Amino acid sequence: MRNAEKKKGPLGFGSVFAQDRGRQGRRRLWRLTVACAVGVVGLGTLVQGAQLAQAASQTLLNIQRGGAALMRNEFLKAIHFYDLALGSDSNMTNQRRAKILNDRGVAKWRLKRFDAAMEDFNQAIAADPKYPLTYNNRGNTFLELGRAKEAIADFNRAIALLPDYAAAYNNRANAEQYLKQYRTAIEDYRKAIKFLPNNAVPFAGRGEIHRAEKRYYAAIRDFSRAISLTPLFYKAYEGRGQAYLALDRFADAVRDLSVVINAGRGTAEVYLARAEAYFELKRMSQALADLSQVIQLAPDEQQAYAMRGKIHYRLKRYRQAVDDLSQAIELNDQDVDSLVLRGQLNLRLGLAEEVLPDIKRALQLDPKRVEAYFIQGQALERLDRRRQAEESYRKALELDPRFAAARTALGRLISQMVQEAERIMAERAARQAAAAAAAAAAAAEAAAEEEQGGTEETGAQAAGGPTTGAVSPSAVSADQDPLPPPYIPAALPELPPAPVVADEPPEGWQIKTLEDGRIIATNKRYPKLNVDLEMYGEGKPKVLNWEVLRGRYRGIGLLRYDAGRIGGKKAQRQIYVSIVDLRRRKVLSIEPLKQGDQAAQWSWRQASVIVTDRDGIPNEVWLRQLSLAQKARLAENTEQLDPYNQPKVNKRRSYRKYRRRKRRKKKKFFNWPF
């Protein structure tokens, strides 16, 4: 039993074990099979994962290479690497694909391949509609293609996705500036400056708008800020130079425009502007050199020929001036200035017949051109067409009663015509008197013959021929008089009375609008001073206050004025101040005092004032002419002063001190020969 159990036990256990082992073996075999299969799949996955990782790393490397090439302005290389990045990884996410397409579109945009860039931007937006940079870049492409409204729509989407996107605000302002929506453009530039206060681009863009609206001092302020942030921003130098030129600050204009030209960025427009500044500074040779450069860069630049003609006229090179003006008129036959000047030159050359066609054409284009009527009158007078010359002079005085040259010429012509009429009338009276005397003598002779026995008719009288006696005075008619009837011109028109000012302006200031659109304020107390007033809103300017500082700031005047209102129903009043240097008779700057409810901060220093506007942008206005070293020393002193609480300067004492400083030392006897 025990042996049987022993045999049974192991047999039984063995069989169970065998059975169990069989099942377990099958399970283990299944597991091993599955494991092998999983191992094979896992190995494939690992290989595939390695391949994907390698592809991803290669894509990332191409993206980095494309970005580096884009930063180096190697745009063709950038496009090549972005093409490799897009083709090397087919499993990249839509977000990454959108970014690569966007960067490739930027490279094509830089190469001015705008249609290809537009295609990339469209694909990027299709891949990721919530990527704001693509909308911004596509908006720039629309703007380059002249589709400004579509560009604004894209910039709006970019701002909606990223509300503090400064570049989109700046670019939307560019599009609004293209559409001449200056008010909204300035607001967008303000927002761009708020988010990027240390970027020069929005300042330069806003400066261009100020220059387009003839707010030249505001333009100078923005361009100066842009230059302080980016010293090599040549576009800002060009804009500031153009603004200086418009304000007749020709030396400053030459300085800024020369910076652009010396950097190799000189275009025909820049050379032309500097030539105009040289012309006003009477540096004619330098102006001619710049105009020659303009004609070399742009052979069809009409203004260059016109200005060179003016210079030759100033230099009394009349033939060369006529040639240049003829070229200018050939390029633009509606240039009234060139037509009038060529007419004046022909008049100087004694070609009166050639003057009239030019002046006639000029008056057709501009019927209110006063000097054209004056030149026409001179030409007609030389051609002995006096009555037509008188009409031209009177037309000139009708347009400008205070035109002294026309008044003098008309007065002289009237005097000559009156003298001629008096001569004609005297000659006619003498002829009539002689005829009357002859008739009286004939009548007396006839009466004497009749008393002696009567007179007999001659054969000629019987045949109806003339009598031997004189004709009666009534027989001498005006038709038989060979002299023309005298023409007596009207008297010279009197000067109109001075205009009466209904409301006396504050402190004697009167506001005038110049022909170029600039608004100035004048005062009889300062006859050689014209104070510019720039408008920043709707309405007309109004002088509010005038005060002259004393003490340290002696000779500095502040003219406060109303610069208009901005807004609809809740219009914000704009109050600005023109800072005037009375010694140099010029406006130093125009700065804000109050913009709506927000007041600007004025910080007075020893020789300058720092004005911080409502956006927190400071601008330092130097009140004295100082060197750079002096300005650097004064900048270290940040003490704020009160301009209205300055002690009076003892002029007598300061003059004595000046004389003591200038007093020469007495020379001894042996120093006199030397």
Rounded CA-CA distance 550/452 in Å is 109
Report residue 163's pLDDT band, with 50, 70 and 90 as the boundaries: very high
Rounded CA-CA distance 213/235 in Å is 18
Rounded CA-CA distance 365/334 in Å is 7
The burial of 141, by beta-carbon neighbours within 10 Å (0-12 exposed, 13-18 middle, 19 or more buried), is given as: buried
The per-residue pLDDT for range 536-553, each reduced to its tens digit, is 988 889 999 999 998 888
Report residue 652's pLDDT band, with 50, 70 and 90 as the boundaries: low
Report residue 48's pLDDT band, with 50, 70 and 90 as the boundaries: very low
Neighbours of 572 (CB within 10 A): 15
Residue 496 pLDDT greater than 80, yes or no: no
What is the secondary structure of 267-333 as a DSSP string?
-HHHHHHHHHHHHHTT-HHHHHHHHHHHHHH-TT-HHHHHHHHHHHHHTT-HHHHHHHHHHHHHH-T
Residue with tokens 């030149």: 375
Extract the tokens encoding 378: 């001179």
Alpha helices in 400-476 (DSSP H): 404-451, 459-462
Cα dihedral 92→93→99→105 (10° resolution): 60
The per-residue pLDDT for range 260-316, each reduced to its tens digit, is 999 999 999 999 999 999 999 999 999 999 999 999 999 999 999 999 999 999 999
Q: Please count the CA atoms within 13 angstroms of the CA of 136 that sit on its side-chain side.
A: 21
Report residue 500's pLDDT band, with 50, 70 and 90 as the boundaries: low
Report residue 52's pLDDT band, with 50, 70 and 90 as the boundaries: very low
Predicted confidence at residue 486, as pLDDT, reads: 75
368 vs 496, higher pLDDT? 368
Residue 473 pLDDT greater than 50, yes or no: no
Residue 154 pLDDT greater than 80, yes or no: yes
Predicted confidence at residue 447, as pLDDT, reads: 85
Predicted confidence at residue 645, as pLDDT, reads: 62
| Average pLDDT of the segment spanning 452-456 | 60
Rounded CA-CA distance 440/438 in Å is 5
Q: How does 8-33 read in b/e, with b if 16+ C-beta sit within 10 Å?
A: eeeeeeeeeeeeeeeeeeeeeeeeee
Predicted confidence at residue 280, as pLDDT, reads: 95
Rounded CA-CA distance 220/232 in Å is 16
Rounded CA-CA distance 308/574 in Å is 43
Contacts of 232 (CB under 8 A, 6+ apart): 263
Predicted confidence at residue 23, as pLDDT, reads: 45
Mean pLDDT of the chain: 83
Task: Compute the Cα dihedral for 524, 527, 530, 531 and give only its sign.
Answer: negative
The per-residue pLDDT for range 371-399, each reduced to its tens digit, is 999 999 999 999 999 999 999 999 999 99
Report residue 359's pLDDT band, with 50, 70 and 90 as the boundaries: very high
Extract the tokens encoding 538: 């709707």
Lowest mean pLDDT across 89-98, 454-463, 529-538, 550-559: 454-463
The burial of 142, by beta-carbon neighbours within 10 Å (0-12 exposed, 13-18 middle, 19 or more buried), is given as: buried
Percent of all residues in the chain with a pLDDT value above 70, rounded to a whole number: 80
Residue 508 pLDDT greater than 70, yes or no: yes
Predicted confidence at residue 54, as pLDDT, reads: 59
Predicted confidence at residue 421, as pLDDT, reads: 86
Cα dihedral 157→162→166→170 (10° resolution): 0
Contacts of 499 (CB under 8 A, 6+ apart): none
Report residue 502's pLDDT band, with 50, 70 and 90 as the boundaries: very low
| Average pLDDT of the segment spanning 593-601 | 89
Predicted confidence at residue 661, as pLDDT, reads: 56
| Average pLDDT of the segment spanning 65-94 | 87
- Helix (H, G, I), strand (E, B), or coil: what is residue 545? strand
Lowest mean pLDDT across 55-69, 354-368, 655-669: 655-669
| Average pLDDT of the segment spanning 483-487 | 69
Q: How does 404-438 read in b/e, with b if 16+ C-beta sit within 10 Å?
A: eebbebbeebbeebeeeeeebeeebeeeeeebeee
Lowest mean pLDDT across 42-46, 50-54, 471-475: 42-46
Report residue 193's pLDDT band, with 50, 70 and 90 as the boundaries: very high
The per-residue pLDDT for range 107-145, each reduced to its tens digit, is 999 999 999 999 999 999 999 999 999 999 999 999 999
234 vs 88, higher pLDDT? 234
